[in-house]
Chain A
Amino acid sequence: MDEREHWMALERADGSPYASRFAGIGASIPERRLPTDELMASTRYQTDIDLEQLTGVRERHVVSVGEDSYTLALGAARDALAHAACAAEDLDMLIVSSISRHVGGMRLQLEPPVSVALKEALGARQAIGFDISNACAGMMTGVFILNDQIRQGRIRRGMVVSGEYISELGRNAAQEVRDVMSDQLASLTLGDAGAAAVLERAPAGAPGIEVAGFTTLSEHSRLCVAFPAKIGPGVTMHTNAREIHRVAIENALPMLREVLDQAGLEFDQIDYLVPHQTSARAINKAMAEFSAGLGGAPKHVVITVDELGNTASTTHFVALHKYLEEGRFAEGDRILLLSLASGLEVGIVIFRVDQLAGCYGNHH
């Protein structure tokens, strides 16, 4: 095979007949809030952990009776379609990327794929539907797939959607965490949310996704694993948090350089960097190292983990939705989405906000 100069899977700069762009971002956030002090007061053992100081997570939103992974995904999908000003029938592809697949409360559905019911509920009759799973990089993987399909003209429009009911991992962790070294500590930062993104073929000459790259550094694949709990309903997640943060930062740096080079950009040409939302401290530490390694810094780093917690595969799109609703983005802004997830997955997407800025807030 011919030698390639990049490590990541990247779409080729030449030869793609079309470009893709985000047509709409949707979110579904449960109303109920769970403050960190309330969660920590429920731990079975006296832990003496100041979780808010440690992670910056002040509160997270959690589901109420009648809400689960499926309902969160459905709500986000409908919201994304409304902002994209298109009908479900216009979707050529529907990808569900939730890690949690709770349908009907705590029941973890393996089959049928969740996409079957979502497709039917939305009325996406023409869409090719399937589920994928790629830990917290699931939605970004869906974007990578849709971008590949749209750029070739295989589809015109597609949606990736995820509903994460994962606060139950926090409830389970609260029964087992004893101190700050617990491998379930990260579960206490989790919050529930649904998010969806509609991608479409961009009009000729319109800005959109400038580059998308992904890779898996699997020597770290067993640093974070989740499976059905032994102590009660739902799931437990076990993470070597220090090590996964260390290797994520170390490995993301050259990947950022590759993607920026592919797009012909410098790091300080990024207006907003949206990282995966694990903890404010981890994000700030990573940004300092990225800036030192790449020179310069993005103008803004988006942090939502303080009020939403870590919402797994939905974090980037929940954050985008929040900033769009608050009118923080301008049309010309360039956004970098950085996914670092169990696997170890490294995914990066750079795009221009363009018409999205006008589809939210008072305009909608």
Chain B
Amino acid sequence: MGTIIEAVATATADGEPSAGAVALADAAARSCLERAHRTADDVELLINAGVYLDRNISEPAIAALIQEDIGANPEQLAGAGQGTLSFDVRSGACGLLTGIHLVDSMLASGTVRLGMVVATDADPEPGVSEGFAFPALGGAVLLSADASRPGFTAFRFATFPEFAELFQSAVDWRENRSGGYNLLSVQIAGAYAERALECAASTARELAATERFDLGEVDLLIATASVPGFAGELGRRLGLSGERVASPPDRLAGAHTAALAAALESRRLAAGRTALFVSAGSGLTVVAALYRA
């Protein structure tokens, strides 16, 4: 029994520059369900992995707002079968893959039968926030269990706290003449991209070693770290040629938590093929996963 990807979708703010993070996630989730010919009520686990959210909201979980918006079992109906559980994962650029890991577990245990991980980021206060350069993007990945396909077969998590200072973001009070205001600031050091590459490459090699597979067997690398050019360079370091690296459109090259969905959407993975997922993010944290379609 393997966890397989039923569908993936993204939504951008094209034409609607004021579109918020929740609206982008709603749109991506709806599109994803449509592609899989599923209804919202089929989703029994909904995880949001977005970090930069409307009004920097901290409660409730954004996943609950998205669940209500898309109409996934918003109200309890007697005899209507299983409802939906929603919560957020807050693990930066590794959040979407971490969410997939949690869905994989609950599918395997039979606790849920269909899970969706959404990720979304949009500048909560354009023109006010400092250092926010991620393109507004929502993404959704729909997952289910399939007895005939391997799907996700292994995950590896790694943390490199010595590089924690390279990627920081916070909301903090800033005083001014009229009193002050809470300000979101995002700071990514110039050295982050190189360190993310090193950490991602080492984690991918460790996954290959523990799972006893040759990186040369990888048909598609899907890699994200919130910086343009990351996937191609990681592919080069792992010995994977450019045609085996998924690349989202240039305008989404610096996308954050939803970047993995954009990369996944950019390429079709044929049955029997092997994909290597690698996400690197603040912390520095890395999650790598092996997927056999």
Partner-B contacts on A (CB < 8 A): 1-4, 6-12, 15-16, 99-101, 103, 106-113, 115-117, 119-120, 128-135, 137-138, 141, 145, 148-149, 151-152, 154, 214-219, 221-222, 224-230, 232-235, 237, 251, 254, 341-345
Contact = CB atoms under 8 A, between A and B. Distances in A.
Given A116-B159, A117-B161, A215 B87 contact: no
Contacts of B76: 7, 215, 217, 251, 254
B57 A227 contact: yes
A229 to B, nearest CB: 6
B61 interface: yes
B87 A141 contact: yes
Interface of B: 42, 44-46, 51-52, 55-61, 63-65, 67-68, 72-76, 78, 80-92, 94-95, 98, 101-102, 105-106, 108-114, 157, 159, 161, 164, 167-173, 179-182, 184, 186, 281-285
Contact of B285 (A112, A219, A344): A112
B159 A129 contact: yes
Those 10 A-B pairs whose CB atoms lie nearest each other, nearest first? A228-B182, A233-B173, A218-B68, A342-B60, A112-B282, A134-B87, A111-B282, A226-B59, A218-B67, A219-B74
A148 B179 CA distance: 48
Contact of B65 (A2, A101, A137, A221): A221
A219 B159 contact: no
B88 A133 contact: yes
Given A100-B58, A130-B94, A120 B161 contact: yes
A70 to B, nearest CB: 12
B111 A111 contact: no
A131 B89 contact: yes
A101 to B, nearest CB: 8
Nearest to A134: B87
A218 B58 contact: no
Contacts of B106: 9, 148
Contacts of A128: 101, 157
Indicate the member of A10, A216, A345 with the most B CB atoms within 10 Å. A216
Indicate the member of B59, B101, B180, B284 with the most A CB atoms within 10 Å. B59
Contacts of B88: 132-134
Contacts of A152: 105, 108-109
Nearest to B226: A111
